[in-house]
Structure 1
């Protein structure tokens, strides 16, 4: 994922990729996943500064336990999600983000940046579980995979996804186009 809110590429391998092999290095994993992990945390509701910090903390944990992690992509999202929840509930304040951070894409297209900001603001209007399920979905996971990671039923995932989509559609529906 190159930019904030970019959808997963169509030609990418399925999210539920097989367990990593001995040939997978942490450095390869880091380079491939750090941007997507930051995006995932923003979709969860973190601001950019917190998302960057949490992604880095998660990657440090992944490095320390690399030999024992079988599915690193899902592991990183699960750990980062938990770190985010702890940060939100503890109401910690984030430090100012360095605008030159190599983890963040440089936005040259103002219209695109404004659109992405609107999407993030819309996601933040959702209740926690709906926002959580949407973040996993936007990151390319299927409901069955999300259910497994969040330890809830696939039906609960689908229900929350449905409610989230309805709520988002109601927010973006133009006035006069039907019930709000």
Structure 2
């Protein structure tokens, strides 16, 4: 039997990052918070039977994202703020460092096709190729291809903005 204090630590490490990640995929704040809370609640109820809680949370939320968005039929307003304490995108290397404004960053991400946006967003959240593939139900080679294409598209958009 797992210690419930581990659940609290898992919640604290993942909830806000997950909400922000879902927003980067296009969910309005209220939808992102509701989906993240629902997944974390189900994790709590199944705590003892889930072997890798963090992977389960990310995979479940991102697998359910398209269905939730179809039900909501909503798109994120560009002026919507992430939850207080949400992490800004980091770790994206050459292209994220060139974008200073969070709203500009969200607009750039929104212009990517859904799968590229999902892969790049999860990469920015610090997930590796295998974890992203598991979360989205795609192979590691597809993750690498989608990331490369998304990164190249973002780099082209940034070059065009600088001209």
- TM-score of the pair, normalised by structure 2: 0.75
1:137 equivalent in alignment to 2:119 = no
Q: 2:142 aligns with which of 124, 137, 156?
A: 156
Runs (4+) off by over 6 Å = none
More helix by share: 2
2:132 equivalent in structure 1: 146
Q: 2:13 aligns with which of 12, 17, 32?
A: 32
1:126 equivalent in structure 2: 112
CA distance in 2, matches of 1:163, 1:68: 37
Q: Are residues 22 and 131 of structure 1, via their aligned partners in 2, closer, same or farther at CA, if it must alter by over 3 Å?
A: same
Q: Deviations over 1:37-81 (max 9, x none)?
A: 112212222122211111111111111111111111111111111
The answer as to whether partners of 1:45 and 1:131 remain within 8 angstroms in 2 is: no
Q: Are residues 166 and 62 of structure 1, via their aligned partners in 2, closer, same or farther at CA, if it must alter by over 3 Å?
A: same
1:83 equivalent in alignment to 2:83 = no
| Structure 2 unpaired stretches of 5+ | 87-99
1:45 equivalent in alignment to 2:31 = no
CA distance in 2, matches of 1:131, 1:176: 22
Q: CA RMSD in A?
A: 2.7
Q: Are residues 43 and 22 of structure 1, via their aligned partners in 2, closer, same or farther at CA, if it must alter by over 3 Å?
A: same
2:2 equivalent in structure 1: 22
Larger radius of gyration: 1
1:166 equivalent in structure 2: 152
CA distance in 2, matches of 1:157, 1:146: 7
| Structure 1 unpaired stretches of 5+ | 1-20, 108-113
The answer as to whether partners of 2:59 and 2:134 remain within 8 angstroms in 1 is: no
> Number of matched residues?
144
CA distance in 1, matches of 2:118, 2:140: 14
**1:93 Cα offset (Å):** 5.2
CA distance in 1, matches of 2:123, 2:132: 8
The answer as to whether partners of 1:40 and 1:77 remain within 8 angstroms in 2 is: no
- TM-score of the pair, normalised by structure 1: 0.69
Q: Are residues 173 and 71 of structure 1, via their aligned partners in 2, closer, same or farther at CA, if it must alter by over 3 Å?
A: same
